[in-house]
Chain A
Amino acid sequence: MASVRLKGITHRYQRTEVLRDITLDIEDGELMVIVGPSGCGKSTLLRIIAGLERPSGGDVEIDGVRVNDVEPAQRGVAMVFQNFALYPHMTAAENMGFALRNLGTSARETDARVRETARLLQLEPLLDRLPGQMSGGQRQRVAIGRALVRNPRIFLFDEPLSSLDAQLRIEMRAEIARLHQRFGSTMVYVTHDQVEAMTLADRIAILNAGKLEQVGAPLDLYRSPRNLFVARFLGAPRMNLLEGELASASAAGAEVRVRGGPVLRVAAIADRLAANARVTLGIRPEHLRPGPSAGDLEGQVSVVERLGDRTLVHLDLDIGAEVLCEDRGESPIRVGERVHVHAPAGAFHLFDESGIALPRIVAA
């Protein structure tokens, strides 16, 4: 196990800057998930930690030692690739033992370690199979086994579940979580799937266009996004956003006039903003409750998605905006129906004109 420290990492491909001043501490034994949309630089950051790419600027430290000039194999890292990168001409056992053989480990010890790892991952029946004779999930487990057998200081996962089907993803996600709990290894996990990030991570680092937007525990980020990007990125379905302007602000809270609509009370401290400043109001679908009686906002139902345990209602508001709200269980709401929605003041997020979140008032 080891800690990783990224200090001011920048990276360029020719003139394109793909990473901008990334500083991130990953603690010993932590599972850090780096998440962001496609092309945000998350895989590049992982490759820089692995040593497969050299950063244009900044330092990578492992256990306090600068490793910028250390070869990938000498960093004590193991990586699980997006497409598994298993050697197609080698059996599962040969794939898993390849690194050990390269290190000069005896055939007997290699075999013993491969079998031990295979037992842990329930791979024993697959050991003599070639990757081409395995399913996607089996290949993924062999790829994890190949990383595990070397007993690395740091595990790196580069979107390892993206090529699996939905059910298998859930199973493999749980398997990775179990591995982390069992070995307590330092893991850096890259994904674009925020559900994966929320369910696996000790902490999440959110990357956008090469810039680190926010780092923190999954629920902290969910509850207190630092800016609009994080607010929109985390959570499925996404947070609803409404444009408006500040009507009043005090230490007790703020009032926001939604564009073309009513004034809503928000439990946020906005007294640093000028009166009538443009703001964005955020509200998560699960906090926006639909109902037939009077509420803050009113509109017509355009789509109803019944998921069994909950119902998602798409609403065209009279003020011209679209929002998504969530009803518990099998909602009686029908398409075309007129409904009201309401949310408590404490459920709203408030962002200033530049998209930065304003501090929320936490109820005592």
Chain B
Amino acid sequence: MARTWARWLSHALLTALALAWMSPLLWVILLSLTPNEALARGDLAPRMLTTAHYQTLLAVSQAPRWFLNSLLVAGTMTAATLVLSSLAGYALARIPFRGRNGVFLFIVAGLAVPEQAIFLPLHRMFAELELHNTYTALIAPRLAGPFGVFLMTQFFRAVPREMEEAAELDHAGRVRTFLFIMLPLARPALTTLGIFTFLYAWNDFLWPMVSATDPDMYTLTVGLSSLQGNFAQSESLGFVMASAVVASSPMILVYLLFQRYIVRGMALGGVR
């Protein structure tokens, strides 16, 4: 009996906390569906909801193109990161070569470098290569991420060595062992890394804003921020909120679909 009550109580508490955490999101969605007149009156419980802000967003902006840009950039970045990090992680974890530990430490040290610190040289380099306003510029700088390499190295180190030795005795060469044994084993780590990379790429704002000056090359975050006028907060709050909902909806979807892997990934990568 006491146990049932304790469970009810903990569920009630957790539900209350979840609602508290969700309230900003629900608030944003509500505002994005509230007519401007109601917002101007300060009426935050309108009788009529509207999709006008979303229609305006589609009509006055290049939102669909920015959405596709974001999808292309995040998708490519995720795929490339998975390939590069798993290859590098496997090599660092399992292939003995001179200076391996040094290379690993050098990569891990990259985790301590703030991205703002390399903005100027990066910008200059891409300017000299005349690559700004291209997908290459939006994607390439993000591929050398140390987190993915660190995560995959740690994962491959934890795979029992006998697994690889069994494959070696089973006539599998290095490539087949990697493709058919190690990569399938790494599926949880790869899923986690994929989700984190996608979310990071989707949310990325600073570098795309610096590199993409042509509206055709904006990603969704940069594009939507460009729509905000000086009086956006007071005169078109609904529109701003609709932009926020559009920008965050893919991420909410990713969280809902993969929350199990995100939690596991936090444990795996030591992210707190």
- Residue in B closest to A74 when the chains form the complex, CB atoms: B171
Q: Are B165 and A89 in contact (CB under 8 A)?
A: no
**B166 is contacted by which of A71, A85, A103 (Cβ under 8 Å)?**
A85
**How far does the alpha carbon of A102 sit from the alpha carbon of B166 in the complex, in Å?**
13
A99 in the interface (beta carbon within 8 A): yes
**A73 is contacted by which of B162, B169, B181 (Cβ under 8 Å)?**
B169
- Residue in B closest to A156 when the chains form the complex, CB atoms: B169
Shortest C-beta distance, B10 to chain A (Å), equals: 32
B160 in the interface (beta carbon within 8 A): yes
Q: Are A79 and B176 in contact (CB under 8 A)?
A: no
Q: Are A83 and B169 in contact (CB under 8 A)?
A: no
**A85 is contacted by which of B165, B172, B176, B184 (Cβ under 8 Å)?**
B165
Interface residues on B, range: 10 to 19
A268 in the interface (beta carbon within 8 A): no
Shortest C-beta distance, B223 to chain A (Å), equals: 41
Ordered by A's residue number, 15 sampled pairs between the chains whose C-beta atoms are within 8 Å are A73-B169, A73-B171, A78-B169, A79-B165, A81-B165, A83-B162, A85-B163, A98-B167, A98-B172, A99-B170, A99-B171, A102-B170, A102-B171, A102-B172, A150-B170
Q: Are B165 and A98 in contact (CB under 8 A)?
A: no
With a 10 A CB-CB cut-off, give which of B165, B166, B167, B169 has the most chain A CB atoms: B169
**How far does the alpha carbon of A9 sit from the alpha carbon of B168 in the complex, in Å?**
23
**How far does the alpha carbon of A86 sit from the alpha carbon of B163 in the complex, in Å?**
7
**How far does the alpha carbon of A78 sit from the alpha carbon of B171 in the complex, in Å?**
11
Q: Are A52 and B165 in contact (CB under 8 A)?
A: yes
B residues whose Cβ falls under 8 Å from a Cβ of A: 160, 162-163, 165-172, 176, 180-181, 184-185, 187
Q: Are A72 and B168 in contact (CB under 8 A)?
A: yes
**How far does the alpha carbon of A169 sit from the alpha carbon of B185 in the complex, in Å?**
29
Q: Which of chain A's residues have a CB closer than 8 A to the CB of B172?
A: 98-99, 102
A87 in the interface (beta carbon within 8 A): yes
Q: Are B162 and A81 in contact (CB under 8 A)?
A: yes
**How far does the alpha carbon of A77 sit from the alpha carbon of B166 in the complex, in Å?**
11
Q: Are A87 and B171 in contact (CB under 8 A)?
A: no
**How far does the alpha carbon of A71 sit from the alpha carbon of B162 in the complex, in Å?**
16
Q: Are A73 and B160 in contact (CB under 8 A)?
A: no
Q: Are B160 and A87 in contact (CB under 8 A)?
A: no
The verdict on A79 contacting B185 (CB below 8 Å), with A73-B171, A98-B172, A103-B171 known, is: no
Q: Are B168 and A88 in contact (CB under 8 A)?
A: no
Q: Are A89 and B185 in contact (CB under 8 A)?
A: yes
- Residue in B closest to A150 when the chains form the complex, CB atoms: B170
Which residues 109-156 of A sit at the B interface, judged by CB distance below 8 A?
146, 150
The verdict on A50 contacting B163 (CB below 8 Å), with A87-B181, A88-B185 known, is: no
Q: Mark A57-98, 1 if CB is under 8 A from B, else 0.
A: 000000000000001110001110111011111000000001
- Residue in A closest to B162 when the chains form the complex, CB atoms: A85
Q: Are B163 and A87 in contact (CB under 8 A)?
A: yes
With a 10 A CB-CB cut-off, give which of A79, A146, A150 has the most chain B CB atoms: A79
**How far does the alpha carbon of A52 sit from the alpha carbon of B165 in the complex, in Å?**
7
**How far does the alpha carbon of A197 sit from the alpha carbon of B222 in the complex, in Å?**
71
- 3 pairs of A and B residues whose beta carbons are closest in the complex: A99-B170, A85-B162, A102-B171
Chain B interface helix/strand/loop/mixed: helix
Shortest C-beta distance, A163 to chain B (Å), equals: 12
A residues whose Cβ falls under 8 Å from a Cβ of B: 50, 52, 71-73, 77-79, 81-83, 85-89, 98-99, 102-103, 146, 150
Shortest C-beta distance, B162 to chain A (Å), equals: 4
Q: Which of chain A's residues have a CB closer than 8 A to the CB of B165?
A: 50, 52, 72, 79, 81, 85
**How far does the alpha carbon of A354 sit from the alpha carbon of B122 in the complex, in Å?**
73
Q: Which of chain B's residues have a CB closer than 8 A to the CB of A73?
A: 168-171
Q: Which of chain B's residues have a CB closer than 8 A to the CB of A103?
A: 171
**How far does the alpha carbon of A72 sit from the alpha carbon of B184 in the complex, in Å?**
23
Q: Are A79 and B171 in contact (CB under 8 A)?
A: no
The verdict on A102 contacting B185 (CB below 8 Å), with A72-B169, A81-B165, A85-B160 known, is: no
Q: Which of chain B's residues have a CB closer than 8 A to the CB of A150?
A: 170
**How far does the alpha carbon of A103 sit from the alpha carbon of B172 in the complex, in Å?**
8
Q: Which of chain B's residues have a CB closer than 8 A to the CB of A83?
A: 160, 162
**How far does the alpha carbon of A332 sit from the alpha carbon of B266 in the complex, in Å?**
64
Shortest C-beta distance, B183 to chain A (Å), equals: 10
Q: Which of chain A's residues have a CB closer than 8 A to the CB of B170?
A: 73, 98-99, 102, 146, 150
**How far does the alpha carbon of A126 sit from the alpha carbon of B28 in the complex, in Å?**
54
Given A71-B168, A81-B166, A102-B171, 12 other A-B residues pairs in contact with their CB atoms under 8 A: A50-B165, A77-B169, A78-B169, A79-B165, A79-B166, A85-B160, A86-B166, A87-B166, A87-B184, A88-B185, A102-B170, A102-B176
- Residue in B closest to A96 when the chains form the complex, CB atoms: B170
Q: Which of chain A's residues have a CB closer than 8 A to the CB of B185?
A: 87-89
Q: Which of chain A's residues have a CB closer than 8 A to the CB of B171?
A: 73, 99, 102-103
Shortest C-beta distance, A11 to chain B (Å), equals: 17
**How far does the alpha carbon of A99 sit from the alpha carbon of B169 in the complex, in Å?**
8
Q: Which of chain B's residues have a CB closer than 8 A to the CB of A52?
A: 165, 168-169
**How far does the alpha carbon of A85 sit from the alpha carbon of B177 in the complex, in Å?**
13
With a 10 A CB-CB cut-off, give which of B163, B167, B171, B185 has the most chain A CB atoms: B171
**How far does the alpha carbon of A86 sit from the alpha carbon of B184 in the complex, in Å?**
13
Q: Which of chain A's residues have a CB closer than 8 A to the CB of B180?
A: 98
- Residue in B closest to A75 when the chains form the complex, CB atoms: B169
Shortest C-beta distance, A187 to chain B (Å), equals: 15
**How far does the alpha carbon of A89 sit from the alpha carbon of B163 in the complex, in Å?**
12
**B184 is contacted by which of A78, A82, A89, A146 (Cβ under 8 Å)?**
A89
**How far does the alpha carbon of A82 sit from the alpha carbon of B163 in the complex, in Å?**
11
**How far does the alpha carbon of A73 sit from the alpha carbon of B185 in the complex, in Å?**
22
